[in-house]
Amino acid sequence: MPGRSPAGPAADPDLDIWRTLPIAQQPTWSEHAHYAESIAELGSRPPLVFAGEVDVLRERLAAAAQGKAFLLQGGDCAETFAGATADKISARVKTILQMAVVLTYGASMPVIKMGRMAGQFAKPRSSNDETRDGVTLPAFRGEIVNGFDFTPESRAHDPRRMVEAYNTSSSTLNLIRAFTQGGFADLRSVHSWNKGFMANPAHTAYEQLAGEIDRAVRFMDACGADFEALKRTEFFASHEALLLDYERALTRTDSRTSQPYDTSGHFLWIGERTRQLDGAHVDFLSRVRNPIGVKLGPNTTPEDALALIEKLDPNREPGRLTFITRMGAKNIREKLPNLVQKVTESGAQVLWVTDPMHGNTVTSENGYKTRKFDDVMDEVRGFFEVHDSLGTYPGGLHVEMTGDDVAECLGGADPIRQEQFDDLYESVCDPRLNHKQSLEMAFLVSGALAKRGIQS
Ligand SMILES: O=C[C@H](O)[C@H](O)COP(=O)(O)O
Ligand SMILES: C=C(OP(=O)(O)O)C(=O)O
Ligand SMILES: [Mn+2]
């Protein structure tokens, strides 16, 4: 049937227009001996997500855009193949679920849970190369492109890695689905994990809130709440749609609607470095039905934002477009108001989410890429302040985090110090909040959400 190929990549020629447009941050591998076969292999594999799930997510995000839900999106800056173990995946899912319970209580509304997981393998970089001790090699661009080891073999771009990224995403997603549907996500277990966090004397400031949640759970139990239903939860997969070879090969025509869906994940975002209006990324993502995010840095003008809306969400469909602002703590109070105001005046209904990580990266005195917990929280506070003052809705949180006890970001109530980096810094790209810092952030944001609830 013309234009319809449910078993392989969608055939619509418009899905290839991006190939004629300027494109940033791509690997140099089109002449590689294994390029064509790797793309063909991906094209023959089953979709990772079902288009119906993607539609459900769009509805959930529409509710968030209307101030009736809150998005929690978190995970590694860069997933790795070796890091896709049961322990690490379960720790990350567990931490996101723990954060979500705390946020649900504060917001008194549903929290949409989404991992930067099962596909977050491609990284845009500031520089094409990296030099160490006088040796210059291609920069690490995420394991879907090349290896982290600093050798010429490892840093060579290899398209076969796309198939490995697909396989790793598939097994990660399988485990996420098992955890979130098979009883692991039971509200009572999640709540009891949070009691472990409270046992740390550093966290006494959160005792009142934790106590309130505890009473709420016991109250629900006493009322005979259906805890069976609370044993399962929705959980969505997302990543930056940077590597268009991969995204295109996994784009399928949905047999129900005949529309193209990028089945590599439920939600895809365009990064700050690839959001050029006439560039390949904006064009390609404008043509798939998934909900789309765009990162907006401090230099974004209201005109840029309005033009992105016009291209990516011409029908002004709630849930279609999320703006993920990453201004930096120093800029947010100055830069965000004008943007939100002009977008709101235009009548567009986007979902506003804060990424308090990427505008707050610094280098520690001992040479590690890091972020201060206080700066991160300051940006989150600024985000809430701006939306409060404009009467708009701060609809979500996008964080680089892990469930493990790493030392990558500085500070927190049980503070991480730079001396710990040599032993406990594991990220292959940006620094992540560790398990405790992530939960602490959830308690702080929950408090902010609860205050809004009382005000409204
Ligand atoms: O995750 C985001 C980017 O890939 C990352 O911040 C770029 O880092 P770099 O400036 O070290 O290249
Ligand atoms: C690359 C990233 O962010 P940004 O595009 O905002 O720099 C990221 O989210 O890891
Ligand atoms: Mn990052």
pLDDT tens digits along 333-353? 999 999 999 999 999 999 999
Residue 383 has pLDDT above 90, yes or no: yes
Region of 77 (left: φ > 0; alpha: ψ -120 to 50; beta: rest) is: alpha
For residue 342, give Cα distances in angstroms to 241, 303, 306, 318.
Answer: 27, 9, 8, 17
Q: Name residues whose C-beta falls within 8 Å of residue 315's C-beta, 6 or more positions apart in sequence.
A: none
User: For the chain, what is the mean pLDDT?
Assistant: 95
Share of the chain above pLDDT 90, in %: 91
Residue 215 has pLDDT above 70, yes or no: yes
Q: How far apart are the C-alpha atoms of 57 and 435, rounded to whole Å?
A: 26
Two structure tokens written together for 132 = 């160490």
Averaged pLDDT, 234-249: 98
Q: What is the per-residue pLDDT across 368-377, written as a single tens digit (0 to 9) for each?
A: 999 999 999 9
Binding residues: 77, 116, 272-273, 295, 326, 358, 400, 430
Residue 187 has pLDDT above 90, yes or no: no
Share of the chain above pLDDT 70, in %: 98
Which residue segments constitute the domains of the chain, with CATH numbers given? 18-185+232-454 (3.20.20.70)
Per-residue model confidence (pLDDT) at position 7: 66
Question: Which atom of ligand 2 is found nearest the CA of 78?
Answer: 10
**Ligand 2, atom 10, residue with closest C-alpha:** 77
**CB of 75 closer than 6 angstroms to any ligand 1 atom:** no
Averaged pLDDT, 89-100: 97
Centre of ligand 1 from the C-alpha of residue 148, in Å: 14
Per-residue model confidence (pLDDT) at position 5: 42
Q: How far apart are the C-alpha atoms of 437 and 423, rounded to whole Å?
A: 18
Q: At what angle do helices 187-198 and 86-107 cross, to 10 degrees?
A: 90
**CB of 410 closer than 6 angstroms to any ligand 2 atom:** no
Q: Please state the separation of Cα 155 from the chain's center in Å.
A: 25
Residue 312 has pLDDT above 80, yes or no: yes
Query: The tokens 């600093």 sit on which residue?
Result: 150
**CB of 260 closer than 6 angstroms to any ligand 2 atom:** no
Strand extents, DSSP E, 299-419? 321-325, 351-354, 362-363, 369-370, 394-400
Ligand having the closest approach to the CA of 281: 2
**CB of 272 closer than 6 angstroms to any ligand 2 atom:** yes
Q: At what angle do helices 302-312 and 332-345 cross, to 10 degrees?
A: 50
Which pTM was predicted? 0.97
pLDDT category of residue 61 using cuts at 50, 70 and 90: very high
> Taking the chain, what is the end-to-end CA distance rounded to the nearest angstrom?
53
Averaged pLDDT, 143-163: 98
